[in-house]
Amino acid sequence: MEGGWPLMRSFFLCLTVSLLLQGRGDSFTINCSGFDQNGVDPAAFQAVFDRKAFRPVINYSIPTHVNISFTLSAILEVNAQLQLLTSFLWMDLVWDNPFINWNPKECVDINKLTISAEKLWLPDIFIMESMDVDQTPPGLTVYVNSEGRIKYDKPMRVTSICNLDIFYFPFDQQNCTFTFSSFLYTVDSMVLGMDKEVWEITDTSRNIIQTQGEWELLGINKATPKMLVGSNLYDQIMFYVAIRRRPTLYVINLLVPSGFLVAIDTLSFYLPAESGNRAPFKITLLLGYNVFLLMMNDLLPASGTPLISVYFALCLSLMVVSLMETIFITYLLQLATSEPPPMPQWLHSLLLHCTNPRKCCSTASQEGNKVLGVTPTQLPDLKEPVELVGKMPSSGEAELNGCPESTRAQQEHEVQKQHLVGLWVQFSHMMDTLLFRLYLLFLASSIVTVVVLWNT
């Protein structure tokens, strides 16, 4: 304690002299006599601590070189709505302080020391994208080696702004930037550099990130453009951090159930249209799908229009379209069985052509037989036509028994009507098949489109 004042005075004398005499680094050698008895003498470093307020250089026209590196230790959250990435970094800064210098041989072989960071000048490096105040924990220390090289590591929770594009959700990749720059010092005073390669940073980060969370680190790139603000040029280092979402959760919870529901909806076309089960079934599916969408809404990004929303809308519209088709076919069948309107000639020939192209050609000569010939062969699998076929012999019997004219005409009318019903039923089934094929085509093309979009 008593030796403190003379020591300091001699040190300051030493400083002034050395500054006058060209300011060589050697003059700032720390006197460590007594380190072996009393530990590190704070007085020996007092001169350095007193300079804390100023950038530690001997010649002020020489910029301070600061080497930057970082380790990404966690990706905590990606918020698409606010466009924020919350991550945890360990930032490493290395620079030289020419006022710290000692000879390890004289100083009981001490090669490096830890010093409280608050006692020293620290470069004001910050991350430009950061949208939160620096939450550096207090009481950090730095390593100083005997040549005055200072190594300062600080943990940082960084909430940085990042241009998030969720169009490809859940198969999306994001490219977020961390721009390290000095807040105040221009290139004349501070130059940034790196002592590690980017791949080293990437490898360390990959090993450190233990969490198997939603995001996976793909790679880190860097660029070093200088930033011009007004007439001041600032040095900066930009790191592009590419991260990818792990999509399994979303595939299992969103895409697969949705796909299954559409598949069931497609299969329900095989339910017979006459049974009347098809429409209720499809309505139930539609309801179920709506409930599913409501429940899974939380998993979707809160903003933007990702492709997955388009996919859901597509699934929903496919279901609605298939329900509409069912309603149309049910209406047609109802119309056909209750009050069949006269069938236009063109529709009739089209029907014949489409249902039985070969037969219609071979029997074209026998007009009368053709009409009757088609009906029984085409209709056995249908409900009403079966009844119709059953009725026909009975009407034939009645004819043989020699009924009066009016009954005969009535019967003929009845036969013709049944025939018309048969034709309309046949037409309805044809429409059903045709629309089902169109639906399948639409389904296939939309699946292909979505898959192609997702892969680009």
Ligand X SMILES: *[C@@H]1O[C@H](CO)[C@@H](O)[C@H](O)[C@H]1NC(C)=O
CB of 353 vs ligand X, minimal distance in Å: 58
Contact stretch for ligand X (CB under 6 A) within 58-66, 257-265, 313-321, 344-352:
58-66
Q: How far apart are CA 361 and CA 345, in angstroms?
A: 17
Looking only at residues 13 through 52 of this chain, which bind ligand X when binding is defined by CB under 6 A? 31, 33-34
Residues ≥6 apart with Cβ < 8 Å to 319: 261, 262, 265, 282, 285, 286, 289
Q: Is 114 in the site for ligand X (CB under 6 A)?
A: no
Distances (CA, A) of 30 to 5, 25, 64, 101, 362: 15, 11, 21, 6, 116
DSSP code, position 247? -
CB of 118 vs ligand X, minimal distance in Å: 21
Of 37, 38, 59, 231, the one binding ligand X by CB under 6 A: 59
Q: Is 96 in the site for ligand X (CB under 6 A)?
A: yes
Of 88, 240, 292, 454, the one binding ligand X by CB under 6 A: 240
CB of 119 vs ligand X, minimal distance in Å: 19
C-beta atoms surrounding 36 within 10 Å: 12
CB-based contact 243:77 (threshold 8 Å): no
CB of 210 vs ligand X, minimal distance in Å: 23
Looking only at residues 196 through 235 of this chain, which bind ligand X when binding is defined by CB under 6 A? 219, 221
Looking only at residues 156 through 195 of this chain, which bind ligand X when binding is defined by CB under 6 A? 175, 193, 195
Return the closest-CA partner of residue 142 out of 133, 134, 152: 152
CB of 72 vs ligand X, minimal distance in Å: 14
CB of 94 vs ligand X, minimal distance in Å: 4
Of 51, 55, 65, 359, the one binding ligand X by CB under 6 A: 65
Q: How far apart are CA 114 and CA 140, in angstroms?
A: 10
Tokens encoding 390: 């059953």
> Is the Cβ of residue 123 or residue 422 nearer to ligand X in the bound state?
123
Contact stretch for ligand X (CB under 6 A) within 56-64, 108-116, 132-140, 203-211:
56-64
Alpha-carbon Rg of the chain, whole angstroms?
43
Return the closest-CA partner of residue 79 out of 240, 239, 304: 304
Where are the alpha helices (H) located in 23-168, listed in sequence order? 35-38, 42-50
Q: Is 389 in the site for ligand X (CB under 6 A)?
A: no
Q: How far apart are CA 169 and CA 361, in angstroms?
A: 56
> Is the Cβ of residue 96 or residue 325 nearer to ligand X in the bound state?
96
Q: ω before 170 within 30° of 0 (cis)?
A: yes
Backbone angles phi, psi at 78, to 5 degrees: -125, 115
User: Any idea how long the chain is?
Assistant: 456
Q: Is 67 in the site for ligand X (CB under 6 A)?
A: yes
Looking only at residues 334 through 353 of this chain, which bind ligand X when binding is defined by CB under 6 A? none
Tokens encoding 311: 């996919």
Q: Is 304 in the site for ligand X (CB under 6 A)?
A: no
Distances (CA, A) of 416 to 341, 345, 395: 12, 15, 12
Number of residues that bind ligand X (CB under 6 A): 20
CB of 32 vs ligand X, minimal distance in Å: 8
CB of 196 vs ligand X, minimal distance in Å: 8
Q: Is 61 in the site for ligand X (CB under 6 A)?
A: yes
Binding interface with ligand X (CB under 6 A)? 3, 7, 31, 33-34, 59, 61-62, 65, 67, 94-96, 175, 193, 195, 219, 221, 240, 242
